[in-house]
Amino acid sequence: MTLNIAVLISGRGSNLQSIIDNVESGYIPNANVSVVISDNKDAYGLKRAMNHGINAVFIDPAAYQSKEDLDNALLDVLARSSTDVLLLAGFMRILGSDVINAYSNRIMNIHPALLPSFKGLHAQKQALDYGVKITGCTVHFVDEGMDSGPIILQKSVPVLDSDTEESLSERILAQEHIIFPEAVKLFAEGRLYVKGRRVHIL
Ligand code: GAR
């Protein structure tokens, strides 16, 4: 059976691209990116999806009266695409509980820091400002909190004295492009087992 992957984006979509490439190469086995959804109509990731013949959908947050209405619109697109797993790849919004509950332990997010440090926006700048010597990236399951669900994989990245937000972000991004597909591969192979806060890799 094919695993139908839906990807939510807000912008550039380089993590989306790494997922598409790893599905196409077969590294992520028996899977298909069935839909890419953006909350930003100018997101370059929508073009990336179209370049690969993937259904690209813009959901306009301004068109909905409430967060619940927006979540229902999202649930509708996900259901129509027979979504098995939902990936947040640079998606800059918090999902509502209806979506979280509908896809419990089937939503993954990539975050550019070693959680639980530096949650939220501009995680790379937060790390530089704090002065940590090591930061990195995290793939985790999504729960109702912000960047708070059970951790699947993490990769560390040293902070150099010469680093700017751009240079550090670039080195972290290179690792994101490795661990996000790896986590999805493990999911596709049925090798992730969640027990409380801990994700065991079988
Ligand atoms: C990535 O660095 C991702 O980790 C980050 O946004 C960037 C998206 O880049 N996500 C967050 O900060 C979520 N809190 P991309 O659009 O090229 O994949």
| DSSP collapsed to 3 states, 129-163 | HHCCCEEEEEEEECCCCCCCCCEEEEEEEECCCCC
**Beta 3-9 vs 198-201: how paired, if at all?**
unpaired
Q: How far apart are CA 181 and CA 185, in angstroms?
A: 6
Q: How far apart are CA 68 and CA 74, in angstroms?
A: 10
**Is 177 in contact with 18 (CB distance < 8 Å)?**
yes
Per-residue pLDDT of the chain in tens (202 residues, 90 and over written 9): 899 999 999 999 999 999 999 999 999 999 999 999 999 999 999 999 999 999 999 999 999 999 999 999 999 999 999 999 999 999 999 999 999 999 999 999 999 999 999 999 999 999 999 999 999 999 999 999 999 999 999 999 999 999 999 999 999 999 999 999 999 999 999 999 999 999 999 9
pLDDT of residue 1: 87
Q: 104 by DSSP, 3-state: which?
A: coil
Question: What are the CA-CA distances from residue 140 to residues 154, 160, 172, 198, 200 (Å)?
Answer: 9, 26, 16, 10, 12
**Is 49 in contact with 8 (CB distance < 8 Å)?**
no
End-to-end CA distance of the chain: 20
Angle at which helix 123-130 crosses helix 165-188, to 10 degrees, equals 120
> Which one, of 162, 157, 85, lies nearest residue 118 by Cα?
157
Reply yes or no: is the peptide bond before residue 158 cis, omega within 30 of 0.
no
9 CA: nearest ligand 1 atom: 16
Which amino acid residue places its CA nearest to atom 8 of ligand 1? 90
169 CA: nearest ligand 1 atom: 2
**Is 32 in contact with 23 (CB distance < 8 Å)?**
yes
The rounded Å distance from CA 9 to ligand 1 centre is 9
Which amino acid residue places its CA nearest to atom 17 of ligand 1? 14
Q: What six digits make up the tokens of 101?
A: 């509950």
All domains in the chain, ordered by first residue = 1-103 (3.40.50.170), 112-137+153-202 (3.40.50.170)
Pocket test for ligand 1, best of 9, 14, 37, 137 (most atoms within 8 A of CB): 14
Q: What six digits make up the tokens of 118?
A: 């530096």
Whether 52 sits among the annotated catalytic residues: the reply is no
**Ligand 1 site: residues with CB under 6 angstroms?**
9, 11-15, 89-90, 110-112, 123, 173, 176
- The amino acid sitting at 124 is Q
